[in-house]
Amino acid sequence: MKLSEKVLAMQFSPIRKFNPIAQKAKDAGKKVYHLNIGQPDVPTPEVFMDAIRAYDKKVIAYAESGGNTELQDAVIDYFKGYGVDFERKNIIVTTGGSEALTMTFIALLNPGDEVIIAEPFYTNYHTFATAAGGKVVPITTKAEDGYHYAKREQIEACITDKTKAIVCISPGNPTGTVLTLDEMKLIGEIAKEHDLWIIADEVYREFAYDDREVTSFSMLPEYADRVIIVDSVSKRHSACGARIGLLISKNEEFMTNTMKIAQGRLCSSTVDQVGAAALFRLPKSYYDEVKAEYCARRDVVYEELMKIPGVVCQKPGGAFYMTAKLPVDSVEDFLMFLLTEFDDNGETVMFAPAEGFYATPGLGKDEMRIAYVLNKEDMRRGVELIRLGLEAYNKKNNK
């Protein structure tokens, strides 16, 4: 009665593993600023629950396996706003971006096949690829370079005869790095030369700050047959609990075969799809407002971080994460200190140690990821607590 090697090889979420310790701190009366999870505090647009409350079918029936046409059409119109044409057959509605990635890996990977992806990366890529029998090969990036990886030599060095796909998350989690359209073209070229798929996780698409344009691999028609787009309402629409994602591709063979997996699990939530269709019909001004809010938070976080001597970090261009190197040997040890020994006026802070975001053993021990999902004041206080905590930590260690 053994379990599978796959499941034993999977990791527990490194983001969640400090939760019980944080809970203890809270039980002891401390206030903990949670900069560790990608759960925004931005209210879900009311159109979501309004549409659901108005849903009056007597039977909550299965949706189509590929998704409700109302939602598909809303997505088609959304992409039209960026000059990109999709048809219903290019779109499978999934249960979150997570399921879109899971389906993609099942459809592409034979045992031992590899996908390359810039590290640090969202840890669940490892879980999804492992579950499909594949392997993640990291393109190592550095805090000093702002975690950029769109360089030919760097990418090609990771390609083997087992490589099936390049995974690009832009704007990125956990680094906030954004690909330009020219960088996307370079990746498209490399993928074409090496006959690879491009898996483009674009769940933070509009969250590109300063003078950056919204970019998408869907804007490159010359590579459309090898591009698989993953999308979701979780982040941009602040609807993490809605579990509605999208798998979008113009490659017919991929879509036809992936539909077998989609049919197998029957459909995504009927009620959530009703709400999600309303979200994709939001005007562009909605994205502008939310983007402005996150951009302002990023500025606050960056400003406060720069007050900490020895921090290494470039100002990230998008998403709502920032990864930075701290002047400590072990960020995990420092986080443990923050949660168990430190407080400032009864308050402390929690972030995600970045080690779990690296596939290469030993990397990331001195890095942390901050998610700027709280309001500006809380973010400012949270990063201040990191600074104060670091002073206390160094004092304790006689540095």
Torsion, CA 235, CA 236, CA 242, CA 248, rounded to 10: -100
Residue 395 beta carbon to a second copy: minimum distance, rounded to whole angstroms: 36
> Hey, which residues between 315 and 374 contact a second copy (CB under 8 A)?
none
Q: How would DSSP label each residue in 250-274?
A: S-HHHHHHHHHHHHHT--S-HHHHH
> Hey, which residues between 132 and 151 contact a second copy (CB under 8 A)?
132-133
| Closer residue to a second copy in complex, CB, 137/198 | 198
Residue 230 beta carbon to a second copy: minimum distance, rounded to whole angstroms: 13
> Hey, which residues between 18 and 57 contact a second copy (CB under 8 A)?
39-44, 48-49, 52-53, 55
> How far apart (Å, rounded) are the C-alpha atoms in residues 108 and 141?
25
Cβ–Cβ contacts within 10 Å for residue 399, how many? 10
Element (H, E) at 352: strand 352-353
| Closer residue to a second copy in complex, CB, 63/75 | 63
One of 87, 161, 195, 377 touching a second copy (CB under 8 A): 195
Q: Which of 261, 264, 263, 269 is nearest to 243 (CA)?
A: 269
CB neighbour list of residue 257: distance below 8 Å, 6 or more residues apart = 107
- Contacts with a second copy, 243-282, as mask; x by CB under 8 A: x---------xx--xxxxx-xxxxxxxxxx--x-------
One of 71, 75, 106, 370 touching a second copy (CB under 8 A): 106
Residue 245 beta carbon to a second copy: minimum distance, rounded to whole angstroms: 10
Q: Do residues 120 and 147 touch, judged by C-beta distance below 8 A?
A: yes
Number of residues located near a second copy, criterion CB under 8 A: 76
> Hey, which residues between 86 and 105 contact a second copy (CB under 8 A)?
95-96, 98-99, 102
> Hey, which residues between 209 and 248 contact a second copy (CB under 8 A)?
226, 238-243
Cα distance between the two ends of the chain: 52
One of 22, 32, 63, 184 touching a second copy (CB under 8 A): 63
| Closer residue to a second copy in complex, CB, 67/389 | 67
Phi first, then psi, for residue 136 (nearest 5°) are -95, 125
